[in-house]
Amino acid sequence: MRPLSIKDVAHASGVSIATVSRVINENPSVKEDNRKKVLEVVKKLNFKPSLVARRLAKRKLLDVIALVIPRYEGVFYSFYVLELIRGIGTLCEALKLDLLLHLTDSKSSLNLSGIGGIIFADIIGNMHQLSDALRFEIPTVVINHTLEDKRASCISIDNKGGAAQAVDYLVALGHRRIAHIAGDLVTQAAQLRLEGYRIALEKNKLPYIEDYVIKTDYSRAQARQAAKELLKLKSPPTAIFVASDSMALELISVATELNKEIPRDFSVIGFDDNPMGLYAPVALTTVRQPLVKMAQESVKFLNNLMRAQIKKNIKLVLPCELVIRQSCSSISKS
C-alpha cells in the first residue's frame, strides 16, 4: 500500500493542495473552516508530513510569486508590460523573492502549486483564473484593474482622472473641438480614459461628438487609421487626446506625412510617459502613469500578505501627472 500524500488529504478535504500545504505549515492566511476540515482529515487519516518537506514547502511558498500577464500580440514590445517587469523584478530581487512569469490566454488554467502569491497584471477575460487563486486562498494582488470583489487587493492608476486632466488642459488652451483615439475597451484602463474624456467635456460644457471618438485595439496600425479618419473630417479636431503614447506617436507620423505641423495644425496629448515621446519630431505632452510604483507597491503588499503581516485587502488608486512638452499650443497660436 502506497504512503499517504498531501494530494490524498486535499482530495478528502475538498480543498486544494496549496491550502493543505498552508495548513500544515501553519500559515494564518487560510480560512478557519478550511483549516478545520484539513486538520480533521489529517487526524482521521493519521497523515504525517515529512519534516524536511514541510520546511522546504514553507520556504518555497514564501519565496515564490507569479506574475500573470494576459497574452496579446506584441506583448514584449509593450511599454506597460516592460515597466511592470522592471518594477516587480527589481523589488523581488531586493526582497529575495523568486519571480515566475506566466503569459496566459483567457481560456487556460494556472498551475498554482508551489506558488506563495500571485500578481495579476490585469484582468482581461481571465476572471476565472483570479477566482481559482482566491478559492485556493493564495495571496493575490490585482494591478491596473479595480474589482468590487472584497477578497482581492487591487492597486491601480487613476486613468479617469488622468484623462480628464489632459482634456482640461486642452480646454484651458482654448480648444473646443477635442477628439479622442481610445484604446481597447476590453481593458478597464481604456474604458476609464474614455469616461474621463467624456466627463471633462461635460464639465467644460462641450458636446460629445461620436465622429470625434475612434476606438482601437491600442495598435499603431489602428491608430494610423484613426488619425486619417479624424483629419479628413469636414470639421477636424484642433486637439486630439490619445489613449497611449505609442498611438500618439503614430498620429504624429501620419501628420508629418500629410504635411501637417504639430502643434501648429492641431495639438496632441498621449498617455503613459513612454521615453520614446521625447524623441518624436515634437516632444510629446502626455499623462504620466506611475507604472513602476504600482508594480513595486504590489510586490510589497503581496510579500506582507504571504507572511501574514497584514490581513486586510486594499483598494489603492495612484494619481497620474500631466507632463507638458511641445505637442500642444493654444488655439490662438495653432
Q: What burial class does residue 235 get, using C-beta atoms within 10 Å of its C-beta: 0-12 exposed, 13-18 middle, 19+ buried?
A: exposed
Q: Do domains 6-49 and 159-289 have the same CATH topology?
A: no
Q: Would you state the cell numbers that stand for residue 118, as one nine-digit string?
A: 500571485
Reported as a single tens digit per residue, the pLDDT across 59-98 is: 455 688 999 998 776 666 788 999 999 999 999 999 999 9
Cell of 160: 479617469
Residue range 63-158+291-320 forms a domain whose CATH class is alpha beta
User: pTM of the predicted model, to two decimals?
Assistant: 0.81
Predicted pLDDT at 169: 98
Which three-class secondary structure state does DSSP give residue 329? Answer: coil
Query: What are the cell numbers at 140?
Result: 493575490
If you classify domain 159-289 with CATH, what class do you get? alpha beta
Cα dihedral across residues 129, 133, 135, 141: positive or negative:
negative
Strands (E), 139-228: 140-143, 153-157, 178-182, 213-215
Where are the chain's structural domains? Answer: 6-49, 63-158+291-320, 159-289
> Residue 51: pLDDT above 60?
no
Class of domain 6-49: mainly alpha
DSSP string over 70-110: E--TTGGG-HHHHHHHHHHHHHHHHTT-EEEEEEE-SSPPP
Q: Grid coordinates representing 58?
A: 514553507
**Interval 298-321 mean pLDDT:** 87
Strands 321-323 and 285-288: antiparallel
